[in-house]
Amino acid sequence: MISTMLKPTSGTAKICGLDLIKNPDEVRKKIGILFGGEVGLYDRLTARENIKYFADLGGLSKEETDKNIEMLAQMLDMKEYMDRRVGKFSRE
C-alpha cells in the first residue's frame, strides 16, 4: 500500500508529507521501488556512473553527488565495485 500499488480499504498514509491516496504520482517520485527482476540500473555503466546519473536526475550538485558516492561506497563496503560495470553484478 505504501508503494501506491494497492489502495487501502480505509485510512491513508503520508510519505514525505504527501498523502498516498491523493498524490500517488508524487509519492512514487519520492520512493524507490523495484518490480520483478529489473533493477533499474544501466548495465553498461559502472556503479559510480549509475549513482551519478540518478543524482543528476534528482538535481544534486557535483560536490553533493561525489560526497554521497563516497559515503555510500564506504557504508555499503562497495569501494572495490564502484568502477565496475553493473551488468557483471549478481542479481540473486
- Which of 40, 51, 54 lies closest to 91, judged by CA? 40
pLDDT of residue 37: 52
In the predicted model, what is the mean pLDDT of the chain?
Answer: 85
**Where is average pLDDT lowest: 29-33, 46-50, 67-71, 77-81?**
29-33
Residue-wise over 61-87: b if at least 16 C-beta within 10 A, else e?
Answer: eeeebeeebeeebeeeeeeebbeebbe
**Where is average pLDDT lowest: 4-8, 29-33, 54-58, 63-67?**
29-33
Distance CA 17, CA 15 (A): 5
Averaged over 70-87, what is the pLDDT?
A: 92
Give me the residue spans of the domains in the chain: 1-33, 47-88
pLDDT grade, residue 40 (50/70/90)? low
